[in-house]
Structure 1
């Protein structure tokens, strides 16, 4: 599972209502480009490289799965949407909005369209001062200096003064009011990817299931009757140990914890895979353990139809999953929904993501955050 890229963008404007331009650009980037995680203050500085009205400048940190080229392409679209007309060969000009890609992780990129880190960042105080507000643990991969060191050695003596505070659009999602959120879903629903992204975006502690280490899983998909009971028992033992160990490290009243499973999934899968007598024994053991487990403050079930699940399973390419039949996935979906209907003391949110891709489509990720916020509001 790939992690998100951390990208710094610099925003500038010296035409029209400069503050409104910055605020609108910030919203458009968050809605159409990537998740805006941190936002600097707005700084006023004189134009750089030409004589014109003073600029308002800001820096933002975004999280994205996109490449640097895609981010640049989307940023240029935002500029055009806001009325920016780029004129080649005329040098520096006044502009309604300017979006520069400053850093992309710690990568060094050089192409006709893009140079990263931005080749002039260390010479521009209006880039470095806003970047300081982001509190990044970033080292320039060429100059081997931190943002603070770059600022201290910068020769630009222009006045660059903070004039306005800004707030990240992500702060409008009050997810941290929950201490413990569990994301659940069928095989291939994307629960681990989503839980990981939300943990990164909201600076949460993550608890991710260790399914890949289970030696019975490949055997189960080849011979379910023989390996169902040892598989379910090993999963139950491992989930109990992991949750006990991981959650004990956190303060459930202070830390924000995101998990990609809730231990009750053990009973849901066991009911599908085990014979009646095995299930009765398993259920007795499960309920002894379940009493000791902390319950999530919010339980989010990501529903996907079996056709989409099979597509996702094929795409991620785990060899032992490729023969999973649609009927098995249907049973799992039914098991989850029956479980959800039976719960009276669990705060549950069901989100249908059958037609959504929250990795490729940023709007789909924002839709999920919006559904969570609607749940909070209600």
Structure 2
């Protein structure tokens, strides 16, 4: 899957309970638009360009798979829900909440409704100072300057002062308690997508299964009886090698490890695909390897019904997967659930995502994080 884009928003309020307005906006953005991964301090700044009450301002970093125009459309809808009234006057006005899209990665976007980077950002300390708090390695794609340089060069000399610290919504999710989290699921369940999002949002080392490099996989879907054993043996060897290497290598700059598979999936798939005598031989090899593998601190299984799995497989378009029968997926699901029932010493969380779309619907992604947090507690 594609890596997420990084979006910076600027928030402001100078009507009503300014702190409450800002906090409500942060939470609403996180739950309905995109994941809020960083929040600046809260600043009090004089009104810019007109006479009015002082503003509270802050900046946010979002991570998302959505496009810049899509983010803008959702932000405009959210502003209205939060009480923003746009009378389209000539000039600026006081407002309950103001949310501006300032940057989208280091890209230049110019549409009828959106310009990023925001054309006035370099002239406004109430935007630059909160952005500088975020400690980003971001360079203005037009001016070719980093945030400290933009602050230093700005002609705005407004008195912008820090009021208090603000918390990111992700601070409530304490995944750093674990060293190793495995995300599992059937073919097309979305385990790679979820593992990737979690790794990016929580600064985790990501380990993805190298299935695309397996030369037996396309052949297996054409002739299962002939290629099942070499496929499963090659998967077992590769998974063992990859997990042994990656789990042993500690990354000083990452907080934990998240994978999109666990070594035990080898036995689950082998039991479905192999003949009885092949399976006995395979299990002998597997048992030797399994004893040496570290167990995840949390094992998350994404349950997806077979009908939705087939839709997901079709939409992602891998040619060799298009003929996978529903019966095969049913067997894999049962294999996982049977395995989970036997794991008395493994912390397991089953999440039914049959009616969730955690890529398009932010609230679905947040609900998954909430379930993981409840399991931690």
TM-score by length of 2: 0.98
1:28 corresponding residue in structure 2:
28
Q: Classify the secondary structure of the residue corresponding to 1:162.
A: strand
Shift of 1:251: 6.5
Show the 5 A alignment for 1:162-241.
Answer: 162-241=162-241
Deviations 1:35-69 (A, max 9, x none): 10000000011111111111110000011111111
Secondary structure of residue in 2 paired with 1:88: coil
Equivalent residue, structure 1, for 2:95: 95
1:242-268 per-residue CA deviation (whole Å, 9 max, x = no partner) reads: 01111111279x941100000000000
Hey, what's the Cα distance between the residues in 1 that align with 2:239 and 2:250? 17
- Structure 1 residues 70-109: aligned runs within 5 Å: 70-109=70-109
2: distance between equivalents of 1:18 and 1:78?
17
Which stretch of the first structure deviates more once superposed, 70-79 or 232-241?
70-79
CA distance in 2, matches of 1:100, 1:155: 21
Contact 2:84 2:95 in 1 (8 A): yes
- Matched residue, 2:243: 243
Runs of 4+ in 1 over 2 A off after TM superposition: none
23-32 or 314-323, which moves further after superposition? Answer: 23-32
Q: Is the 8 Å Cα contact of residues 205 and 251 (structure 2) preserved in structure 1?
A: no
Indicate the residue corresponding to 2:356 in structure 1: 356
Contact 2:21–2:96 (CA under 8 A) maintained in structure 1: yes
Gaps of 5+ in 2: none
Give the deviation of 1:331 after TM superposition. 0.4
1:8 aligns with 8
Deviation at 1:212, TM superposition (A): 0.3
User: 2:101–2:118: 8 Å Cα contact kept in structure 1?
Assistant: yes
Q: Distance in 2 between matches of 1:148 and 1:291?
A: 52
Deviation per CA, 1:91-127, whole angstroms, max 9, x where unpaired? 1111111000000011101111000000000000110
Q: Aligned pairs, how many?
A: 376
Q: What SS does structure 1 have at the residue aligned with 2:339?
A: helix
Q: Secondary structure at the match of 1:373?
A: helix
Q: 1:281 to 1:104 in 2, by over 3 A?
A: same
Counterpart CA distance in 1 for 2:234 and 2:369 is: 34
Cα displacement (A) at 1:74: 1.3
Distance 1:264 1:334 in 2: 14
d(CA) in 2 for partners of 1:68, 1:25 = 19
What stretches of structure 1 of length at least 5 have no aligned partner? none
Task: State the TM-score, normalizing by the size of structure 1.
Answer: 0.98
The aligned counterpart of 2:17 is: 17
State the Cα RMSD in Å: 1.1
Deviation at 1:134, TM superposition (A): 0.7
Deviation at 1:325, TM superposition (A): 0.2
Deviation at 1:90, TM superposition (A): 2.1
Aligned to 1:130: 130
CA distance in structure 2 between the partners assigned to 1:250 and 1:210 by the alignment = 20
